[in-house]
Amino acid sequence: MNTQNFTISYETFNSIEELSGTDKMLCAKAKEALVSSFSPYSKFKVGTAILLADDQIVLGSNQENLAYPSGLCAERVALFNIGSNYPNAVVKTMAITAQTDNFKIVNPITSCGGCLQVMIEVEKRQKTPIEVLFYCIDGQILKIKSVKNLLPFAFVEDRLEK
């Protein structure tokens, strides 16, 4: 038996004011994306803003459905939009935030496993890392340099591509 370890490196910022201009703008855009959230059931709005290599910004928000599995998270809404409308685009950075009237969110929310799997596949396909900012409005921000750090045991089967 062998014991293996891995380490995840990330940066923390205490407020949006500590970020670079580009990261600050992207977090503000993620907050703007909350407006289009359709979340009448959970009342938990999630917004994402994605910066492409050509400096375009694509927004996404969670879209719920009464048949819960039919809804979609903000990250996948935005990434599938990019896949459909900008198939050769390279994703540089994603900012993700959340808001609810039911309670104060005091820590950055992170992406679900399904979203992480989609994010890792985009990263793999484009052969460049995607930076991810998890932005807690009026709170801390986590910055991760690559989705691979978030899902070290991602489902990958290269033979399926052949």
Distance of alpha carbon 96 from alpha carbon 115, whole angstroms: 11
Residues contacting 46, CB < 8 A, separation 6+: 34, 37, 39, 61, 62, 73, 74, 75, 96, 97, 98, 109
Tokens of 162: 């052949």
Q: State phi, psi for 61 to the nearest 5 degrees.
A: -140, 155
Q: Is 9 helix (H, G, I), strand (E, B) or coil?
A: coil
What's the longest Cα–Cα distance across the chain? 51
18 is annotated as an active-site residue = no
| Angle in degrees, CA 35, 37, 41, rounded to 5 | 130
Catalytic option among 17, 18, 75, 161: 75
Give the catalytic positions in this structure.
Answer: 75
